A and B are shown apart, each in its own frame.
Chain A
Amino acid sequence: MSARAGNHKGPLLEVRDLHAGVGEVEILKGLNLTVNLGEVHAVMGPNGSGKSTLANVLAGKPEYKVTAGEVIYEGSNLLKLTPDKRALNGIFLAFQYPVELPGVREREFMKTALDAIREHRGLEKLSVREFNKLFQEKIAQMEMSPDLVKRSVNEGFSGGEKKRNEILQMVVLEPKLALLDETDSGLDIDALKVVANGVNKFRGPSRAIVIVTHYQRILDYITPDFVHVLIDGRIVRSGGHELALELEAKGYEWIKEAIESGEQVSV
């Protein structure tokens, strides 16, 4: 997959009529989404509408089963890859609820991950010294305490520290497609700015970002190219940044009503 990636001309990610769920329950009900390199997409929607499910399905979480539709990433079928292979090919998920790994040191964890990813990209492993230097830089950039990373991954981290740590991991691993699942929730204003700065610095023509959020606030810092509204397993409306402002002002009811009255909503 990676061998072809450089030559690939089409969209980075194409989700076509995706149906997915857990057990018998269907959560995504025909979802379409196209993401090109260089773009930032925001996905907004009420609680339980399927935003995290979308992120998890893209990252390959085993309990989610795809029942119909397809996901094309860099021109190839993404769904046949195991989660680690997807990560190696540049997909990164900043978890809504980061997982604790007792006894696993953050530094060791990130070194192992970066070694694997660099190897996949055909790059030399960083020496311990090179890695430590890089890691220190990124920690400083994220304005995190150097002590935090000597601790076990996420263990005993505050909610905000966990979120910030996800972005730290992102900027170290340098994925192509970053899925940020409510990374802004639970952050104080200063932390939000740090996280937004991290994301903005990361933003570029060879990357794409999908931000799942409930709040327009983060979009003041990270201006999205597209905003999508996800309701009941489908993207029901797409627009520019102004759509987020509109949602903030009016909530989701007006969109739901518009759908019920038969207005054409999909893009």
Chain B
Amino acid sequence: MTTPVKQKVISRKTTDLDTDYKWGFVTDIKSDLAPKGLNEDIIRLIVDKKNEPEWMLEWRLRAYRHWMKLNYEEPKWAKIHHPPIDFQDIYYYASPVKEKRPGSLDEVDPELVEAFNKLGIPIEEQKKLSGVAVDAIFDSVSIATTYKKTLEELGIIFCSVSEAVQKHPELIKKYLGSVVPYTDNFYASLNAAVFSDGTFAYIPPGVRCPLELMTYFRMNTEGTGQFERTLIIADEGSYVSYLEGCTAPMRKSNQLHAAVVELIALDNAEIKYSTLQNWYPGDKEGKGGVFNFVTKRGKAAGVNSKISWTQVETGSAITWKYPSVILQGDNSVGEFYSVALVNNYQQADTGTKMIHIGKNTKSTIVAKGISAGHGQNTYRGLVKIMPSATNARNFTRCDSLLIGDKCGAHTVPYIEVRNPTAQMEHEATTSKVSDDQLFYCMQRGISEEDAQHMIINGFCRGIFKELPFEFAMEASQLLKVSLEGAVG
């Protein structure tokens, strides 16, 4: 990115809109905005608006004070470049104005339903077709929650974090911040101080969640920082698969997104967490787009527990994200399957951390990076074997695919082994979509664009097969849309 360093991010304006972004539209729902900037009063206002208890206020204030000590010093080690962010020029609270929580879709603001329709994810249809329970987050506040009944009968709690704070304070107190403490990193501190809402799920012992739990996030109000917080707890012997899909409308200025996701799997429990991220990547010159600085971490706390992250990331101007697993329980398993695509001037610095603590713990990392245009894609991964982790095993595979000759792919593996019984395997490849491959496909009557898409899909197959079927189709479609114009 060749942007001048002095420029402020949030006030940046461009005159022409990039209409290539398919999901770029703005919904005219009145936002309830707090004034710009961050101070203790804003935090009190958030707490007040959300009617949160005193202990939440204290927790947020502790996080805020810690964050202030960091003196606006963002982490600098990632291979990303952007002009400085003015953290006092951001709205920290926005919520659609509404009188009461809707009990069904009919009560949801029709404009909102329309917005979802434009996203190609009509809630109505999804309810019928896929048996997915959708907790839709619109500008940080949960709007519609479906399938609640089915889940309630099983004792599964699936609601917004706000609601959980009110109704299940004991779970929130016990687990919020237990995997990602507010001292963890700059953005995690900021998130803890100001997070507006997010998804909460609790699966009771022995329950296999019969639905794919799903949330769609969108960022709407211009200049709104988005700080969601997700917390999922799988109690002993339970299983849950959770899908997170994201689209952001097109904006003229960059938008900051700093989410925190915490997963906890107790003994014999399994959590599968899948993400599709296609936030606005900026235009062809690299103007605008979302800054996506996310902390995602799971704790495989119990014996034989398993946490699996699958992500397909095609969006955002900048992605900074390392979904990680702490393998604490003996025999626990951590997995990370990722496709990260960058085009035009997008930058991604993404990867994972696998921290092996328990005995016989096993982690698998498969990271696929696709770079096109001037995109820069970095895989950064840490595998750490602690002295206690006897017979730990890790398999890491990083594949990079380059399209064109102006893009870049970088692989930065960190390996720390403190137990001699560890078995580590690492494979890395870099390839290009070759002219011979394109010609071979075209010789069979397949258009160049379809050929390219097919080869890229083939490259991603190992990851897509980890996704639920509909999600895999959508992921494949996303890659296609994201690479339009990258051929030739």
Interface residues of A, Cβ cutoff 8 Å to B? 59-63, 82-84, 86-88, 92-93, 95, 98-105, 108-110, 112-113, 116-117, 120, 152, 169, 173
Contact = CB atoms under 8 A, between A and B. Distances in A.
27 contacts: A59-B439, A62-B435, A62-B439, A83-B443, A84-B446, A84-B448, A86-B443, A87-B444, A92-B443, A95-B440, A99-B436, A99-B437, A99-B439, A99-B440, A101-B455, A103-B461, A104-B454, A104-B455, A104-B458, A110-B444, A112-B446, A113-B441, A116-B446, A116-B450, A117-B445, A169-B444, A173-B445
B447 interface: yes
Given A62-B435, A95-B440, A109 B454 contact: yes
Given A95-B440, A103-B459, A173-B444, 9 more contacts: A59-B443, A83-B439, A84-B446, A84-B448, A99-B436, A100-B437, A101-B441, A103-B462, A112-B450
Contacts, number: 78
A88 B447 CA distance: 10
Given A104-B454, A104-B457, A113 B446 contact: yes
A101 B459 CA distance: 9
Contacts of A169: 444
A102 B461 CA distance: 9
B442 interface: yes
Closest 7 CB pairs of A and B: A103-B458, A104-B458, A113-B444, A103-B461, A99-B440, A87-B445, A83-B442
B161 interface: no
B460 interface: yes
Contacts of B450: 112, 116
Nearest to B449: A84
Contact of B454 (A82, A92, A93, A112): A112
A94 B27 CA distance: 54
B447 A116 contact: yes
Nearest to A103: B458
A92 B444 CA distance: 7
Nearest to B436: A99
Nearest to A99: B440
A82 B457 contact: no
Contacts of A83: 439, 442-443
Contacts of A102: 458-459
B437 A101 contact: yes
B439 A113 contact: no
A83 B435 CA distance: 12
Nearest to B431: A102
Contacts of B440: 95, 98-99, 101
Contacts of B443: 59-60, 83-84, 86-87, 92-93, 95
Contacts of A62: 435, 439
Contacts of A112: 446, 450, 454
A62 B454 CA distance: 20
A82 B435 CA distance: 14
A88 B440 CA distance: 13
A59 B439 CA distance: 9
A103 B448 contact: no
Contact of B457 (A63, A95, A103, A117): A103
Contacts of B455: 101, 104
B246 to A, nearest CB: 25
Contacts of B435: 62-63
Nearest to B460: A103
Contacts of B444: 87, 109-110, 113, 169, 173
A60 B440 CA distance: 11
A84 B447 contact: yes
Contacts of B462: 103
Contacts of A105: 458
Contacts of B454: 101, 104, 108-109, 112
A181 B457 CA distance: 29
A105 B450 CA distance: 14
Contacts of A59: 439, 443
Interface in B110-154: none
Nearest to A97: B436
Residue among B437, B439, B443 having the largest count of chain A Cβ atoms under 10 Å: B443
Contacts of A63: 435
A169 B462 CA distance: 25
A254 B450 CA distance: 49
B436 A113 contact: no
Interface string B326-346: 000000000000000000000
Interface in B416-447: 434-437, 439-447
A7 to B, nearest CB: 22
A61 B439 contact: yes
Nearest to A86: B443
Nearest to B448: A84
A128 to B, nearest CB: 14
Contacts of A103: 457-462
B458 A152 contact: yes
